Amino acid sequence: GAGVSQTPSNKVTEKGKYVELRCDPISGHTALYWYRQSLGQGPEFLIYFQGTGAADDSGLPNDRFFAVRPEGSVSTLKIQRTERGDSAVYLCASSVQGRLGNEQFFGPGTRLTVL
């Protein structure tokens, strides 16, 4: 498809486990963003990539969260030692160049549930 895709759509894990969430941005989009949306809240910024590098990771809540984008396309958000408070929908977005005014296109999200 032409849009941003995320896999899996749902992930259930146990407290303390490691999870990886994948994002496939729109082809040709150099900017990629991860957000987290908790129930009843708006999306909260986690990290922004411009190409392969993390241009801004100020939203990552702690060092259990890490994200990579090794080839400047697909990105993986990695969460170590998951906690119940990590349960949320993780959203990925991409934009053409990440410049002001460039529209961010969002994927459908991955719903993470930590038991």
Partner 1 sequence: GEDVEQSLFLSVREGDSSVINCTYTDSSSTYLYWYKQEPGAGLQLLTYIFSNMDMKQDQRLTVLLNKKDKHLSLRIADTQTGDSAIYFCAEIMNQAGTALIFGKGTTLSVSS
Give the footprint of partner 1 on this chain (CB under 8 A): 3-4, 31, 33, 35, 40-45, 48, 55-56, 59, 91, 93, 95, 98-109
Q: Which two tokens stand for residue 65?
A: 């969260």
In 3D, which of 85, 65, 84 has the Cα closest to residue 75? 65
Q: Which is nearer to partner 1, 13 or 102 (CB)?
A: 102
Which H or E run contains 109? none
Q: Which is nearer to partner 1, 28 or 101 (CB)?
A: 101
The CB-of-76 to partner 1 minimum distance in angstroms stands at: 19
Residue 89, SS3 per DSSP: strand
Q: Which is nearer to partner 1, 20 or 56 (CB)?
A: 56
The CB-of-106 to partner 1 minimum distance in angstroms stands at: 4
Contact between 31 and 95 under an 8 Å Cβ cutoff? The reply is: yes
